[in-house]
Amino acid sequence: MQKTDIIIPVYRPDQSFLELIEKLEKQTCPIGRIILINTEQKYWDQLFYGKKVFRNYSNIQVIHISKREFDHGKTRREGVKKSDAPFFVMMTQDAMPADDMMLENLIRPLLAEEEGIAISYARQMPAQNADPVERYTRTFNYPEESCVKRKEDIEKLGIKTYFCSNVCAAYRRDLYDQSGGFIKEAIFNEDMIFAAECIEKGYAVAYAADARVLHSHHYSNKKQFQRNFDIGVSQADHPEVFESVHSESEGIQLVRRLVGYLSQNGYKKLILPMLVTSAYKWRGYKMGKNYKKLSRKQILRSTMNQEYWRRHWSK
């Protein structure tokens, strides 16, 4: 199997980040380089100063950028430019491989060249401390069955046709280049926007359920609002992708299934908090979709990524 590079944006790394590096280095699939794009060197130095933590690994490259420079699209795009491998994997620092075959299973769909698969993304499993709502949500978005999605699936799958996550996703470099790469400016959804571009060009996106990573969140309602605000902004800015495939129905379906799951499994007391959180998500999403009607002060209060806006407005 040809070597694969791994690209990870990093911000305020902690001890679990070191565990991630160790698990990646032990993968059965040969790794070329691990390219780390770290935001704000001071946070890196706080953890690693005076420690030779990577002394056993000669394949790690660290690039430092400022918080003002970070962009979900541009930063990853620049990371890809540092790689010359035929395959590369985008990851986030909080995604932990569930086993040593994660990378091998993730890359496998890309090797079937006749199928034209441009992207393969991993199954996200809830961490041990995830609550029932988060556990069911992961199962809803990342089922046990693998699949390959193409342009003809849009009518049946809708927005899920374009679904892809850079939490852990592998790319064929030749098809990545042919499809134009990640967009240069993105507040969110750089992965889905690129996946949509690939599908429109006739390529396919694979979901590799046997490539598993542990990844789940514990966001407050405020953070859920801000995250969904940014999702709404990204959709408003890219009507060519999201205008014809609405995502609201997926959210409604998830809430309905969550109510049934919580009710049937002894978690009735979690239904009301889940509905409140869902209301925060919906409100944030709708405000994001209509962000052009908001003042700059309202936008900065609503977003997770204030630096994106300051950079955007300064142009």
How confident is the model over 9-26, as pLDDT tens digits? 999 998 899 899 999 999
Residue 50 has pLDDT above 80, yes or no: no
* pLDDT value at residue 3: 86
pLDDT digits (tens, 9 = 90+) for 197-254: 999 999 999 999 999 999 988 899 999 999 999 999 999 999 989 887 767 778 889 9
Q: What is the mean pLDDT of residues 65-75?
A: 94
* pLDDT value at residue 251: 85
Same domain, 93 and 76: yes
Q: What is the mean pLDDT of residues 115-132?
A: 94
Same domain, 227 and 161: no
Same domain, 139 and 209: yes
pLDDT band at 48 (very low <50, low <70, confident <90, very high): confident
Residue 113 has pLDDT above 80, yes or no: no
d(CA 171, CA 175): 8
Q: What is the mean pLDDT of residues 72-85?
A: 96
Same domain, 36 and 85: yes
Distances (CA, A) of 242 to 145, 154, 196, 238: 25, 12, 9, 6
pLDDT band at 70 (very low <50, low <70, confident <90, very high): very high
d(CA 209, CA 98): 12
| Burial class of residue 196, CB neighbours in 10 A (0-12, 13-18, 19+) | buried
Same domain, 142 and 240: no
In 126-185, alpha helices (H): 132-141, 154-157, 173-178
Lowest mean pLDDT among 38-52, 127-141, 227-241: 38-52
Same domain, 225 and 209: no
Same domain, 47 and 174: yes
Secondary structure of residue 156 in the 3-state scheme: helix
Name the phi and psi angles at 254, rounded to 5.
-65, -45
Same domain, 136 and 256: no
Cα angle 178-179-183, degrees, rounded to a multiple of 5: 130
Same domain, 94 and 122: yes
Same domain, 232 and 205: no
* pLDDT value at residue 295: 97
Secondary structure of residue 3 in the 3-state scheme: coil
The one-letter amino acid code at 278 reads: S
Instruction: Give percent above pLDDT 90 in the chain.
Output: 83
pLDDT digits (tens, 9 = 90+) for 85-111: 999 999 999 999 999 999 999 999 999
> How does the average pLDDT of the chain come out, rounded?
93
Q: Which of 165, 187, 214 is the last residue of a domain?
A: 214
Top pLDDT among 312 and 79 is at 79
Query: How many other CB atoms sit within 10 Å of the CB of residue 7?
Result: 25
Q: Indicate the number of domains in the chain.
A: 2
Predicted TM-score (pTM) above 0.75: yes
Are 96 and 17 within 8 A, CB to CB?
A: no
The one-letter amino acid code at 128 reads: Q
Q: Which of 183, 198, 214 is the last residue of a domain?
A: 214
Same domain, 209 and 96: yes
Q: Which of 189, 214, 239 is the last residue of a domain?
A: 214
* pLDDT value at residue 90: 98
d(CA 262, CA 214): 22
* pLDDT value at residue 131: 93
User: What's the residue count for the chain?
Assistant: 315
Structural domain including 196 reads 4-214
Same domain, 134 and 205: yes
pLDDT band at 263 (very low <50, low <70, confident <90, very high): very high
pLDDT band at 79 (very low <50, low <70, confident <90, very high): very high
CATH number of the domain that residue 161 is part of: 3.90.550.10
Q: Could you give the dihedral angle defined by the CA atoms of residues 169, 174, 179 and 180, in that order, rounded to the nearest 10 degrees?
A: 90
